[in-house]
Structure 1
């Protein structure tokens, strides 16, 4: 007979019910956002969405002469080849602060006729991500976890550890309901559905990441590489996942009787890993090369180069926040505080100050944990948390990058209810502590830069402690 916990699981709503409720919720919020924006000074719609829409408008409506015209070498090449026509394409970077791939503006061109089209697109990506999470849980994650638990029970066959007898149909039903419960953590997460319905494009990037993970867990490494290349073109951070995959892709290449070091090197560098890397790099270069051909240097600068020296001395959880404030350029050409000259100032402003420790830890954890296919979710999760935690700019929106993987990781954790509550309290509490001080800076104009930085450091320490706990609770 099924246990009490199993009976409770079987009584939960089915996945199609949760998915339908999630779709209705998102549609309702998008419709509400249109009404709210018309009747309130404080808008529901994210400022970035207006930037996307403006960029799409500029792309569709090129001006005369050199005004709002794509600045790439495409027309020059066409002219040199004797073609009698030129590409008549606008420049999305005419819109200040648009710092994304032009393909995003191209996707949102229907906003000219349906202003909320982009929100529906991002909400649809949310739902797609929920479907991908559910399918991975049902086909890969939960059967793997159950098989591991069964092996442990057979090695310790005490009566207390023996599960109640269930039929195959009941076991399958329990897996689907458990998968539904974990997937609901994504679909019904307020941070997820509010960000997508406000018009942030994070859900679209998340779809590329999950599709790449899906392909990798299925062993389709060329597809995984292409999808990662697409994700890197969209936003640079998924490149770290490629490092976490190398040890998995080439795991069968080492031979017996080889030294450990040489065997590991052969695991990382072989025909399989080269093909995987070439697929990812090829997809990235093809997309980025095409964008450069049409839009030129503005594409390279706004999409990639700008982020190397980006400064954010306001809404920023980063441990580099106060250093950014001390070296932030003012309108008169000076800096905000005393670090205005000499080698110390140049070092403080260098992107390497944050980039080296961040990428060292991110790549290091990828190489350390990325050895087996069943550890891919864990590896990507740890890499993402480290990347976000030590990034030069860190905002709440970035938390979605690792929260996306949490429903897939939870079945692998041996975390008790008490420790789970402690991790959640520290994760949320350190953010609340920071926000209480940042409110004074953002809305009241108080000079509390030092206090914001101290609370940012507490956030970093607290989240590092949570990550250490998750690593310790992971079932190898």
Structure 2
């Protein structure tokens, strides 16, 4: 399985290779700064989760379960990937995540070229990820979100390249590593409808050879990895790696518009509150999945679903923003908004986060009761995200569906 389009690999990579090296070099500078910062400051640059990954890897090296490390609630194979953190050097994982950042940018570039965009357009759009300060900061602090970016983007690349079974394998792997890509199942499935012009719901849902390949590939990789994890670590893996995320209610302060509600209701166990929160989110995910669930609009379907999932989620942290930022470059050329409007929307988005951080800082580091201001800032950030999504939806050019006779069959 190759990430590249082999027939034109050198031509495709000619324009971006230098920027991939430069992007990785910038990340190396941040990694070096982070190591220095952690030595001399009480407030650390390195993400707490990075220490969790490393401790879990140490448990694996000692022949134990990675879930013996308290708060490790990820796939056990991530701990295996972090073993060099313990065996060789603590910074290994940061180098790996930074490298995966660059791989993600390369896949974005290739997807845009496959869609017929000019090299200059594909290159500029990839910069939205490669030189994004938030992306650089998250990866060099030790978050594993770049791994998810590669898995999700590679799934879309393989779908665009019509390697359907391989796309299914990659998709199932992404869902195994983190559950959230399960929301993409509707548009991925519908994008393989034979009669792309059909408005019949029954025809769109009917299985065909390509759809079955996608489903079988996804099932094989997801259940294969999950069963292997269960064989190795038993019920502890299912409890910590899966069930925890399905029932999680985080009452600590976060960007979610629901955080204060969940905080106040934590001791009352109100029946149906999780369903009431999940209902609007699920409804919008299904609507967008069916609206844009076709071959040409698949990236936009996945992007809009991710924005809705994050914005309406009951827990929202900074890492979650990367889930839709990794998809923004591949839909940007199809969104007809001016550069001025794009800059204004970006400034609003950054400002909404910055204004949230002040009461969050007062609450966490000075123990000042700032719950109400924090809640109000969460509402403002929620409205900001909804407004930006509406602007992108109104500016998106939904391409007409036509039958595409490709000489290359669905693989």
TM-score, normalisation: structure 1? 0.77
| Structure 2 residue 260 is the aligned partner of structure 1 residue 346 | no
| Structure 2 residue 92 is the aligned partner of structure 1 residue 92 | no
Look up the SS of the partner of 1:30 in the other structure: helix
8 Å CA contact 1:45–1:198 kept in 2: the answer is yes
Match of 2:285 among 362, 386, 402: 362
Give the Cα–Cα distance (whole angstroms) in 2 for the partners of residues 279 and 133 of structure 1.
23
8 Å CA contact 2:151–2:173 kept in 1: the answer is yes
1:30-79, Cα deviation, whole Å (9 max, x unpaired): 223222222222211111000000000001103xxxxxxxxxxxxxxxxx
Q: Which has the larger radius of gyration?
A: 1
1:290-338, Cα deviation, whole Å (9 max, x unpaired): 101110111111111112232323331112111111123xxxxxx3xxx
| Structure 2 residue 252 is the aligned partner of structure 1 residue 314 | yes
Give the structure 1 partner of residue 404 of structure 2. Answer: none
Sort the Cα spacing of 1:251 and 1:460 in 2 relative to 1 into closer, same or farther, 3 A.
Answer: farther
Give the paired residue count: 383
Look up the SS of the partner of 2:296 in the other structure: helix
Give the Cα–Cα distance (whole angstroms) in 1 for the partners of residues 154 and 352 of structure 2.
32
Sort the Cα spacing of 1:183 and 1:96 in 2 relative to 1 into closer, same or farther, 3 A.
Answer: same
Give the structure 2 partner of residue 55 of structure 1. Answer: 56
Give the Cα–Cα distance (whole angstroms) in 1 for the partners of residues 231 and 335 of structure 2.
47
| Structure 2 residue 31 is the aligned partner of structure 1 residue 22 | no
8 Å CA contact 2:253–2:259 kept in 1: the answer is no
Give the Cα–Cα distance (whole angstroms) in 2 for the partners of residues 347 and 176 of structure 1.
51
Give the Cα–Cα distance (whole angstroms) in 2 for the partners of residues 418 and 111 of structure 1.
44
Match of 1:137 among 112, 117, 125: 112
1:374-416, Cα deviation, whole Å (9 max, x unpaired): 2111111100000000111011110000001111111111101
1:427 Cα deviation after fit = 1.6
1:254 Cα deviation after fit = 8.0
User: Which blocks of at least 5 consecutive residues in structure 1 are unaligned?
Assistant: 1-12, 63-89, 143-174, 329-334
Match of 1:285 among 210, 223, 241: 223
Give the structure 2 partner of residue 146 of structure 1. Answer: none
Give the structure 2 partner of residue 457 of structure 1. Answer: 379
Look up the SS of the partner of 1:96 in the other structure: coil
1:101-133, Cα deviation, whole Å (9 max, x unpaired): 000001111111221111111111011111111
Give the structure 2 partner of residue 269 of structure 1. Answer: 206
Listed as ranges, the matches of 1:35-54 within 5 Å are 35-54=36-55
**What's the RMSD between the two structures over aligned residues?**
1.8
Look up the SS of the partner of 1:443 in the other structure: helix
8 Å CA contact 1:225–1:276 kept in 2: the answer is yes
User: Which blocks of at least 5 consecutive residues in structure 2 are unaligned?
Assistant: 1-13, 399-411
Give the Cα–Cα distance (whole angstroms) in 2 for the partners of residues 421 and 34 of structure 1.
33
8 Å CA contact 2:66–2:72 kept in 1: the answer is yes
Give the Cα–Cα distance (whole angstroms) in 1 for the partners of residues 204 and 194 of structure 2.
5
Give the structure 2 partner of residue 411 of structure 1. Answer: 333
Listed as ranges, the matches of 1:395-434 within 5 Å are 395-434=317-356
Match of 1:217 among 160, 169, 174: 160
TM-score, normalisation: structure 2? 0.89
8 Å CA contact 2:74–2:240 kept in 1: the answer is yes
Give the Cα–Cα distance (whole angstroms) in 1 for the partners of residues 292 and 114 of structure 2.
22
Give the structure 2 partner of residue 439 of structure 1. Answer: 361
8 Å CA contact 2:49–2:142 kept in 1: the answer is yes
